[in-house]
Amino acid sequence: MSTNHKLIIGSSVNMPEIPDESVHLVVTSPPYFNAPFDYKGLYSSYQNYLEMLKQVAREAYRVLANGRIFVLNIDDMLVDGEKFPIVADATRIFLDAGFRYRDRIIWKKPEGYLRISRRSGVLLQNPYPMYFYPDNLLESIIIFQKGRFDYKSVPQDVREASKINIKEFQENKWYMTLWEMVNVLPNSPLEKDIAAFPEELPYRCIQLFSYVGETVLDPFCGSGTTMKVARQLGRNSIGIEINEALIPIITTKVGFGNQHGLFNGEDTFECLIRQEEK
Check residue 163 and give its pLDDT: 98
pLDDT at residue 262 tops 90: no
Check residue 184 and give its pLDDT: 76
Question: How many structural domains does the chain have?
Answer: 1
Check residue 121 and give its pLDDT: 86
Mean of the per-residue pLDDT values of the chain: 90
- Flag the least confident range among 119-123, 177-181, 203-207, 267-271: 119-123
Segments forming the whole domain that contains residue 26 = 4-277
How far apart CA 246 and CA 224 sit, in angstroms, is 9
**pLDDT confidence band for 102 (50 / 70 / 90):** very high
Best-predicted range by mean pLDDT (181-185, 191-195, 248-252): 248-252
**pLDDT confidence band for 97 (50 / 70 / 90):** very high
What CATH number should be reported for the domain holding residue 149?
3.40.50.150
Greater model confidence, 32 or 168: 168
Mean pLDDT for 50-70 is: 98
Check residue 136 and give its pLDDT: 84
- The predicted-structure confidence for 245-260, as pLDDT tens digits, reads as follows 999 999 999 999 764 4
Check residue 202 and give its pLDDT: 98
**pLDDT confidence band for 194 (50 / 70 / 90):** low
Predicted TM-score (pTM) of the model is 0.92
pLDDT at residue 187 tops 80: no
pLDDT at residue 185 tops 90: no
pLDDT at residue 63 tops 90: yes
Greater model confidence, 33 or 244: 244
**pLDDT confidence band for 261 (50 / 70 / 90):** very low
